[in-house]
Structure 1
Amino acid sequence: MAKTILIVDDSSSLRTVVRLALQRAGYDVLEAGDGVEGLKQLDAASKVHLIVSDVNMPNMDGISFVTEVKKHARHKFSPVIMLTTEGQDEKKQQGRAAGAKAWIVKPFNPPQLLDAVSKLILP
């Protein structure tokens, strides 16, 4: 059975690039345009094995989104990869404190993302 990954990013073109890379690697993909939509997708999904989230988004940013995700027992241990233009150490520390396991700075290359996903995805 394929693993399910949720992509949360306000850029539909970036979501498409990430989705295609993940689908080619055999993953099922859910998408959301911001943190609020991401939480709704998590509530509706039976199991999400990993989350890829942007930091800068409208309605609910990525750090707040990860903080909310980690409050839910069902998703507390779901690994999160932040995929963002933000590269400052302060933002990375906020992400880690919220529960993010990896930080990839855009522009990124799909093999870099797939490598991080394969290391973090839960069985």
Structure 2
Amino acid sequence: MHALIIDDSRAMRSILRRIVTELGFETLEAGNGQEALDHFEAGRVPALCLIDWNMPVMDGYTFVTKVRENPEWREVTLMMVTTESEHGQIVRALAAGAHEYVIKPFTPDAIVDKLELLGLVRDGVAA
């Protein structure tokens, strides 16, 4: 199972990569929403996207809306992982099609717990 980590911070991509790799995911990375969309358009559509909100070129919210516009990508699980903690932003992202929302800073367990809730991880391993 593939996970696409979308964040303009190389350090954050590394942290998230370590967490999901330990769960058994293979990873792809993108530094902004447009790079992530390029993966999709090239046929590299992951099962899971971990998405920052604030990025250059294309932000995470716009990426979520673009993914949800394409019926072929409806099965992709989208999880925001961002510093945006304002209630209105959370509601907006979930209404646009994100499945879950994790606020930075987070613990690895918080990511794992959300992935378990989404059915992507069982007993600490990618399902």
TM-score of the pair, normalised by structure 1: 0.91
Aligned to 2:117: 119
Contact 1:70 1:77 in 2 (8 A): no
Q: Are 2:96 and 1:98 aligned?
A: yes
Q: Which residue in the other structure is 1:37 paired with?
A: 35
Partner of 2:60: 62
TM-score for both structures, normalised by structure 2: 0.89
Identical columns (%): 35
How far did residue 46 of structure 1 move? Answer: 4.2
Runs (5+) with no aligned partner, structure 2: 122-126
Partner of 1:51: 49
- In structure 1, what residue type is equivalent to 2:78? V
C-alpha distance in structure 2 between counterparts of 1:100 and 1:106, whole Å: 16
Provide the aligned length of Structure 1 versus Structure 2. Answer: 121
Output the CA distance in 1 between the equivalents of 2:109 and 2:43.
Answer: 26
Give how far 1:32 is off. Answer: 0.3
Provide runs of 4+ in structure 1 moved above 4 Å.
none
RMSD: 1.5
Residues 19-61 of structure 1: CA deviation (Å, up to 9, x unaligned)? 0111111111110000000101122244411111000111111
Distance 2:115 2:42 in 1: 22
SS in 2 for 1:74: helix
> Residues 117 and 101 from structure 1, CA distance in 2 versus in 1: closer, same or farther, beyond 3 angstroms?
same
